[in-house]
Amino acid sequence: MTTSQPFDLRLPTPGCHNDPERAGLDAKSVFDGMTEHLFFTLGKLAPTASRHDLYMALSYAVRDRLMMRYLATTEAMRARPQKSVAYLSAEFLIGPQLNSNLLNLGIQKEAEEALKNFGIESLQQILDVEEEPGLGNGGLGRLAACYMESLASLKIPATGYGIRYEFGIFDQLIRDGWQVEITDKWLKGGWPWELPQPDEACFVGFSGRTESYIDDKGNYRSRWIPAEHAIGIPHDVPVLGYRVNICDRLRLWRADATESFDFYAFNIGDYYGAVEEKVGSETLSKVLYPNDGTDEGRRLRLKQQHFFVSCSLQDMLRSLDNRGLSVEDFPNYWTVQLNDTHPAIAVAELMRLLIDDRHLEWDRAWDITSRSVAYTNHTLLPEALEKWDLNLFSSLLPRHLELIYEINRRFLQQVRLRYPGNDAIQRKLSIIDEEGSKAVRMAHLATIGAHHVNGVAALHSDLVKTDLLPEFAALWPEKFTNVTNGVTPRRWVALANPEMSALLHQHVGPDWISNMESLRKLEERQNDQGFLELWGNTKLSVKRKLATYIHRNTGVLVDPASLFDVQVKRIHEYKRQHLNALQVITQYLRIKNGQTDGMAPRTVIFGGKAAPGYYMAKLIIRFLNGIADTINADPDMDGLLRVVFLPDYNVKLGEQVYPASDLSEQISTAGKEASGTGNMKFAMNGALTIGTLDGANVEIRELVGSENFFLFGKTVEEITALQQDGYRPGDVIAALPELEEALRLIEMGHFSNGDGELFRPLLDNLTGNDPFYVMADYADYLRAQEAVSRAWSDRMHWNRMSLLNTARTGFFSSDRSIGEYCKNIWAVDPLNVEITCDVR
């Protein structure tokens, strides 16, 4: 990337974006800002202010300091336009914002000093008050959040586009071992980080009909006459980079009705009808991922996707108009990244806006679209590649379906030229799935419309080309590339693990936080016994904090000196939490049978949410809790084994879990996990990985060294061979007495209060078809776990392996990932902004 000339902002006018009165970063300035907001914004006096009031006041004071950078960035882009990144994602799991912004401004100590004037001794007391924004669910949304932070830190102008979900996904309670979903009311206390922009609203249509006409130039055209409309109100969240002047934005759309109240309906007594349109429209931004087990749920999900994509593309086009730029230059000023298939409708919607609203001819519109859009694939699971029933799609987006038919027709002409007479390959590549109930394949639409298609780990990208989309890769090999995922070290090391961060600052230098490759200097200390002991003690102090949290929130007492063996992620069969559960049962049986020689004392920690409609995943949660209840109540397990399920796993909890973990469970079936990012967060914080050759595990193992990674399990090729040979899990079970005994114990109801039928669906699944090869990998998994116990017995050796994991994981910084996107896919350059007032 080349670096643009700095934009020098010299506007000393009070109240503007470099006003020193609201930009100071010393403790007194922060205190003054808090006092001002307590009085004028919140209407509170300091003596009566609650901790929530102080959180809001501090957040507003910090936001003032972000605004200087935010408006300076906006002004720089207006004065000297250059290409920006538009990152379209259905979710942004951004986590709590206050501490992140304090870190990136460099004023954590100053904020703590300011709080002491209000009788608050620790910044953590205020951080604990902050609600987690309900804007995402799992890895996809957390990746988007890391990428937005890295874009800003690398000074790349960018806007993340998504939906402002009022209730997010759900809060998870555990009752009688079962997951219970309750409403996530994360906005109930107000959210100080957003800036509503109602004057920049967008209109979005749904349903209705299309009609053809001849325009004034004699061209045949089609127009869409929607039957429904919604208004998208943008809410901007500033995204600050680490110690830079650039401040990007997250633009989240809230749905509103075009007409909020029907007076006629109200006056005739139809009180529900008076607000029916308002309720229907606002439903679009109520909940992340509505249950798609019903027709209405699927319809709402597709409406959500079109809603935020249409608003976002309209916003991009309007930005060109506001700067006097031609729509023809769209690819020169916007690069549109589709984060998975959820925003794939962007290909058809951009074509509609260009052809119907801006009256471009097809070829020109397609050239603009295909030069602007890029697509990231995040899954190899067929069920996760979105397909929409043709009747649903037609009724909701009739004009888009016309455009998709035309895109498909022109594309299939290319396929016929390449494969003349091969009808089978045409059916396979068509955007329209003709098998059974006809459907629109969104991954095909995204692949055809994008200039680049990337996977998110080396293995995953290879499998996308060889297994998932091989014919597309043969047509356009230049389109397909890889960008291995990354995570931001600011949140996942500096914020999450201040103890280790202090050690790194002392022995590596402060630059590691923006140059993770400098952690390689730690390798010089790998044989330093004193340093290794210090490294282990630092980890132990963090584990004590997590042990306190576990006891306070679950009632389970755990030993911080035990091996913290952790699997936290979305609950899904392919992630194989049930494989981990089976090895825990085996350890339990060995202890009961007195076979404890060489066994490492363990605390096995699980966490994660199951989709509300995913019965098997919810049954796995019940299974894990049943095992925990049985083991934790058995005195024979004391000092050897504890099992914990952490409810409502989220970013805030992850910041405690990753630094305290000794062993990272990355045990998905090979070929099923696209990449993973939890595996990276664990390794950065010095946890050792036990895992399969799946996703980014492959690259982690290569970088940290095979001797510092506990490998087990069938490879992709071996699983393919098992499939071809006719895999029979019963044969595997019969040859493994320990596995047979574990399954028998489950069947007897040992972990379900004597109810032998509770886990029957899970047992039938494992012993019948076993779709994720749990039985096939069980024996090798036990072997690897025994190797873990042996390694744990030599603590200096373990500390050395832990140190090398941290030292060698700089590659997994999201700064590296974004750098690759900028160079190889987006072709965007940094924007330098110089602010003349004192920012530090």
Tell me the per-residue pLDDT of 228-284, one tens digit each, with 9 for 90 and over.
999 999 999 999 999 999 999 999 999 998 765 454 554 565 544 544 555 567 889
Give φ, ψ of 602 to 5 degrees.
-130, 145
The pLDDT-based confidence of 836 (bands split at 50, 70, 90) is low
Residue 689 has pLDDT above 50, yes or no: yes
More confident: 790 or 262: 790
Q: What is the Cα–Cα distance from 14 to 18, expressed in whole angstroms?
A: 8
Structure tokens at 210: 């299309």
Sign of CA dihedral 551, 556, 560, 565: negative
Q: Residue ranges of the alpha helices (H) in 84-185?
A: 98-105, 108-116, 123-127, 139-153
Q: What is the 3-state secondary structure (H, E, C) of 273-320?
A: HHCHHHHHHHHHHCCCCCCCCCHHHHHHHHHHHHHHHHHHHHHHHHHH
Helices (H) and strands (E) in the chain, counts: 34, 25
Sign of CA dihedral 486, 487, 488, 489: negative
Query: Left (φ > 0), alpha (ψ -120 to 50) or beta: where does 179 sit?
Result: beta
| Percent of the chain's residues with pLDDT above 70 | 94
More confident: 137 or 392: 392
| Residue 378 a catalytic site member | yes
Q: How large is the average pLDDT for residues 456-462? A: 95
pLDDT at 1: 45
CA 342, 343, 345 angle in degrees (round to 5)?
A: 110
Structure tokens at 693: 């050759």
Beta strand extents in 417-518 (DSSP E only): 432-433, 439-441, 453-455, 480-482
pLDDT at 45: 94
pLDDT at 22: 79
Burial class of residue 530 (count of CB atoms within 10 Å of its CB; 0-12, 13-18, 19+): exposed
Query: Left (φ > 0), alpha (ψ -120 to 50) or beta: where does 168 sit?
Result: left
For residues 181-198, b (16+ Cβ closer than 10 Å) or e, as one string?
A: eeebebbeeebbbbeeee
Q: How large is the average pLDDT for residues 283-291? A: 85
Residue 491 has pLDDT above 90, yes or no: yes
Q: Which of 270, 552, 206 is nearest to 399 (CA)?
A: 206
| Percent of the chain's residues with pLDDT above 90 | 87
pLDDT at 693: 97
Sign of CA dihedral 337, 343, 344, 347: negative
Q: What is the Cα–Cα distance from 235 to 125, expressed in whole angstroms?
A: 28
Residue 577: CB atoms within 10 Å: 25
Per annotation, catalytic residue among 681, 701, 714, 800: 681
Structure tokens at 139: 């890895």
Residue 629: CB atoms within 10 Å: 18
Per annotation, catalytic residue among 65, 142, 352, 378: 378
Burial class of residue 358 (count of CB atoms within 10 Å of its CB; 0-12, 13-18, 19+): middle
Structure tokens at 645: 């399920």
Please spell the DSSP secondary structure of 680-712, one letter per residue: HHHHHTTPEEEE-S-TTHHHHHHHH-GGGEEE-
Q: What is the Cα–Cα distance from 260 to 274, expressed in whole angstroms?
A: 8
CA atoms within 13 A on the CB side of 676: 34
Structure tokens at 345: 């409708």
Sequence-ordered list of residues with C-beta below 8 angstroms from that of 674, at least 6 positions apart, any chain: 377, 378, 379, 380, 455, 456, 457, 460, 695
Per annotation, catalytic residue among 465, 543, 569, 602: 569
CA 600 to chain centre: 33
pLDDT at 41: 96
Q: What is the Cα–Cα distance from 801 to 793, expressed in whole angstroms?
A: 13
Q: What is the Cα–Cα distance from 656 to 546, expressed in whole angstroms?
A: 6
Residue 12 has pLDDT above 90, yes or no: no
Amino acid present at 246: I
For the chain, give the longest Cα–Cα distance.
89
Q: How large is the average pLDDT for residues 98-120? A: 97
C-alpha torsion 547→553→555→560, nearest 10: 0
| Residue 806 a catalytic site member | no
Mean pLDDT, the chain, whole residue set: 93
Amino acid present at 25: L
Structure tokens at 100: 């992140």
| Residue 681 a catalytic site member | yes
Q: What is the Cα–Cα distance from 303 to 321, expressed in whole angstroms?
A: 27
| Residue 83 a catalytic site member | no
Q: What is the Cα–Cα distance from 784 to 792, expressed in whole angstroms?
A: 12
Q: How large is the average pLDDT for residues 212-237? A: 91
Burial class of residue 74 (count of CB atoms within 10 Å of its CB; 0-12, 13-18, 19+): middle
Q: What is the Cα–Cα distance from 110 to 90, expressed in whole angstroms?
A: 36
Whether the CB-CB separation of 331 and 371 falls below 8 Å is answered with: yes
Q: How large is the average pLDDT for residues 745-766? A: 97
Whether the CB-CB separation of 649 and 550 falls below 8 Å is answered with: no
pLDDT, tens digit (0-9, with 9 covering 90-100), for 329-375: 999 999 999 999 999 999 999 999 999 999 999 999 999 999 999 99
Per annotation, catalytic residue among 235, 306, 570, 578: 570
pLDDT, tens digit (0-9, with 9 covering 90-100), for 626-652: 999 999 999 999 999 999 999 999 999
Element (H, E) at 133: none
CA atoms within 13 A on the CB side of 393: 23
| Residue 505 a catalytic site member | no
Residue 102 has pLDDT above 80, yes or no: yes
Using DSSP bridges, classify how beta strands 228-240 and 373-376 pair: parallel, antiparallel or unpaired.
Answer: unpaired
SS3 state of residue 660: helix
SS3 state of residue 819: helix
Q: What is the 3-state secondary structure (H, E, C) of 405-434?
A: HHHHHHHHHHHHHHCCCCHHHHHHHCCEEC
CA 173, 177, 180 angle in degrees (round to 5)?
A: 30
End-to-end, the C-alpha distance of the chain in Å comes to: 27
Q: What is the Cα–Cα distance from 340 to 37, expressed in whole angstroms?
A: 40
Least confident range from 18-22, 109-113, 561-565, 701-705: namely: 18-22
Instruction: For residue 9, list its beta bridge partners.
Output: 835
Least confident range from 288-297, 364-373, 547-556: namely: 288-297
Instruction: For residue 666, list its beta bridge partners.
Output: 691
| Residue 569 a catalytic site member | yes
Sequence-ordered list of residues with C-beta below 8 angstroms from that of 128, at least 6 positions apart, any chain: none
More confident: 169 or 664: 664
Structure tokens at 703: 């970088």
Whether the CB-CB separation of 245 and 73 falls below 8 Å is answered with: yes
Q: Which residue has the tokens 């049978």?
A: 593
Instruction: For residue 373, list its beta bridge partners.
Output: 336
Amino acid present at 250: L
Element (H, E) at 628: helix 615-632
Amino acid present at 359: H
The pLDDT-based confidence of 11 (bands split at 50, 70, 90) is very low
